[in-house]
């Protein structure tokens, strides 16, 4: 799963990476949490990609209200084309969600880990978005697709967000492509050899904490308790 991530690269950096237009007034966040605004690139109504800020936690267009009784921050790759909340979005409203890394908690001991690309480059999660409208109220929201964890990360958690390689951006965002059978092969674990993970402070457990120290590497003594380096 993916329930917390990091985004500190500038909107301009993501605009270039994701080939999207627009400059947003956005401050870095080292602890992006569900229900907050996340930076996405989506297909614009006039063609091309645009940057936008979307509510994290997809609200299906058919929902009676803006609150859902179940979590939609993540969509499982295996069932994304059959679950009612996502089956429209996978065909018509895909997006790229900008990130510099994400957190995962090891099941044994609940130790938090920061996971990123080895070269520390920014990247994009495979995402879905929807527009919910009732009268004058409108909410654009999104979900991060998750899949099986890469081999080297399975000791931490058995799931991970889908990280798309830049060479797959155009396919994922192709507005003419609506067949999930052709899209789902992209929703695979990112290569293990290109990623790294290390333990970080338990201060990340609270979304109220949001500062660069959260991604500082910590050490794990034999007891498994985190201590600062």
Task: Quote the mean pLDDT of the chain.
Answer: 93
CATH architecture of 5-215: Alpha-Beta Complex (3.90)
* Structural domain spans, the chain: 5-215
Single out the catalytic residue among 2, 95, 130, 196. 2
Catalytic (active site) residue 104:
yes
Q: How far is CA 84 from the centre of its chain?
A: 20
Percent of the chain with pLDDT over 90: 85
Catalytic (active site) residue 176:
no
pTM of the model: 0.94
pLDDT at residue 227, rounded to an integer: 44
Q: How far apart are CA 66 and CA 115, in angstroms?
A: 31
Question: Which residue has better confidence, 222 or 126?
Answer: 126
Q: How confident is the model at residue 25 (pLDDT cuts 50, 70, 90)?
A: confident
Q: By the 8 A CB rule, do 106 and 2 touch?
A: no
The secondary structure of 28-58 as a DSSP string is: -EEEE-TTSEEEEEEE-TTSSEEEEEEEES-
Q: Residue 146 — φ and ψ, nearest 5°?
A: -120, 155
pLDDT at residue 46, rounded to an integer: 84
Single out the catalytic residue among 16, 78, 95, 104. 104
Q: Is the pLDDT of residue 139 over 90?
A: yes
Cα angle 67-86-71, degrees, rounded to a multiple of 5: 40
Q: By the 8 A CB rule, do 170 and 118 touch?
A: no
Residue range 192-205: mean pLDDT, rounded:
95
State the alpha helices, DSSP H only, in the chain.
11-18, 89-92, 169-173, 180-183
pLDDT digits 0-9 by tens, 51-63: 999 999 999 999 9
Q: How confident is the model at residue 226 (pLDDT cuts 50, 70, 90)?
A: low
Q: How far apart are CA 205 and CA 203, in angstroms?
A: 5
């Amino acid at each position: 799963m993916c329930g917390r991530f990091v985004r500190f690269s500038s909107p301009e950096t993501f605009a270039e990476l994701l080939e999207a237009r627009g400059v947003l007034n956005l401050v870095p966040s080292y602890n992006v949490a569900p229900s907050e605004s996340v930076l996405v690139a989506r297909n614009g109504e006039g063609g091309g990609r645009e940057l936008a800020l979307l509510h994290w936690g997809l609200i299906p267009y058919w929902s009676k209200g803006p609150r859902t009784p179940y979590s939609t921050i993540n969509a499982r790759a295996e069932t994304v084309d059959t679950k009612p909340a996502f089956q429209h979005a996978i065909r018509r409203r895909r997006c790229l969600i900008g990130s510099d890394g994400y957190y995962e908690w090891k099941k044994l001991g609940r130790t938090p880990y920061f996971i990123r690309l080895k070269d520390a480059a920014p990247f994009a999660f495979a995402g879905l978005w929807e527009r919910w409208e009732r009268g004058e109220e409108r909410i654009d929201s999104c979900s991060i697709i998750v899949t099986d964890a890469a081999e080297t990360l399975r000791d931490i958690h058995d799931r991970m967000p889908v990280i798309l390689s830049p060479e797959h951006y155009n396919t994922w965002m192709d507005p003419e492509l609506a067949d999930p059978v052709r899209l789902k092969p992209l929703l695979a674990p990112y290569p293990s050899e290109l990623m790294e993970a290390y333990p970080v402070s338990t201060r990340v457990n609270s979304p109220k904490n949001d500062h660069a120290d959260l991604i500082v590497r910590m050490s794990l003594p034999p007891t498994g308790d985190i201590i600062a380096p």
